[in-house]
Amino acid sequence: MRSIIGKFKLALALFALVSFGAVNNSSADWGGIVSYQEDVYPIIHFRCLSCHGEGDVGTVQSGLNLETYEGLMKGTKHGPVVIPKNPLISNLNVLVEGRAKVRMPHNRKRLTPCDVEILHRWVQQGARNN
Ligand code: HEC
């Protein structure tokens, strides 16, 4: 009898460990919340800011300054490039996904599928400054 209870306890402990692991991993999962600060900004920093900082060619030509969240949300001189919850019509996504004649980064290597997905999910989740 004792050994059955012992085995049950062991199974319970193992189950708890496994499910804790699953919960613990979920933030790194694709189903998790995408963060502007941790996920989106690093992509912009390394792949866009060489042309979209103050006075740079992309900013001067389009009016889109990507140095800050506010700049990204303000968009170009023609209007917003991010429509929260709607990556299908957000120019940010259209351009990095190669859905228009012009592609971004302009004349540079395209973003990795992973980076494209991060930007897509972030807009889908409401494009928050999180
Ligand atoms: C090598 C320089 C360069 C890099 C790197 C670059 N851009 Fe641009 N970007 C430009 C230029 C130049 C324009 C203006 C082109 C135009 O209006 O046709 C522009 C315009 C844009 C526009 C506005 C297009 C429109 O519809 O008016 C968006 C959105 C944009 N860039 C996003 C990005 C994003 C996001 C990245 C990084 C993933 C990026 N760019 C990286 C040079 C660059």
Residue-wise pLDDT for 89-107, tens only, equals 999 999 999 999 999 999 9
pLDDT of residue 32: 87
Atom nearest to 57 CA in ligand 1: 12
Q: CA 61, CA 78: separation in Å to the nearest integer?
A: 11
pLDDT of residue 85: 98
Q: Which domain holds residue 56?
A: 36-124
Tell me if 76 CB under 6 Å of ligand 1: yes
Same domain, 13 and 74: no
Same domain, 115 and 58: yes
pLDDT of residue 30: 52
| Placement of tokens 């502007």 in the chain | 36
Tell me if 81 CB under 6 Å of ligand 1: yes
Evaluate whether 52 touches 65 at the Cβ level (below 8 Å): yes
Same domain, 82 and 110: yes
Same domain, 115 and 61: yes
Rounded alpha-carbon distances, angstroms, from residue 33 to 39, 104, 126: 10, 24, 10
Report yes or no on 130 lying in a domain. no
Q: CA 128, CA 110: separation in Å to the nearest integer?
A: 24
Same domain, 20 and 74: no
Evaluate whether 103 touches 110 at the Cβ level (below 8 Å): yes
Atom nearest to 61 CA in ligand 1: 14
pLDDT of residue 5: 64
Q: CA 40, CA 122: separation in Å to the nearest integer?
A: 8
Evaluate if pTM is beyond 0.75.
Answer: yes
Number of structural domains the chain divides into: 2
Tell me if 92 CB under 6 Å of ligand 1: yes
pLDDT of residue 27: 46
Stretches where the chain sits below pLDDT 50 are: 17, 20-28
Same domain, 45 and 62: yes
Same domain, 53 and 111: yes
